[in-house]
Amino acid sequence: MNKVLLLVAVLMMSLSSQLWAADVEAGKAKSAQCAACHGAAGISPMGIYPNLAGQKEPYLVKQINAFRLGVRKDPTMQAMVGALSDADVVNIAAYYASIK
């Protein structure tokens, strides 16, 4: 039951966060903390971390929010995204989605 509630919360956050217009430049600035694992331009230098460049924006929002809510469990990711606002999440997702 708790997993269902968390999933519903993630979906609602994903949908509500998409109501803001994304700011790609703000996302680029905020993504600086992501570069150590995911690469400066979203292409990871290490095989154990996924590439973020070119991912679809809604997918990135969903995954970041899943880490924020603890639906996806990874201590490093939860620490990295825990303080992000909904606008930050949308902006970061827009930035990585904009990279071809």
What CA–CA distance (Å, rounded) separates 36 from 79? 14
Please, are residues 3 and 70 in contact by the beta-carbon 8 Å criterion? no
Q: Model-level pTM?
A: 0.80
Q: Where are the domains of the chain?
A: 2-98
Task: Give me the residue label for tokens 């997702």.
Answer: 93
63: tokens are: 């995954």
Residue 2 confidence (pLDDT)? 72
Residue 22 confidence (pLDDT)? 95
Please, are residues 18 and 93 in contact by the beta-carbon 8 Å criterion? no
In this prediction, the residues of the chain whose per-residue pLDDT falls under 70 are 4-20
Residue 59 confidence (pLDDT)? 98
CATH 3.90.320.10 fits 2-98, yes or no: no
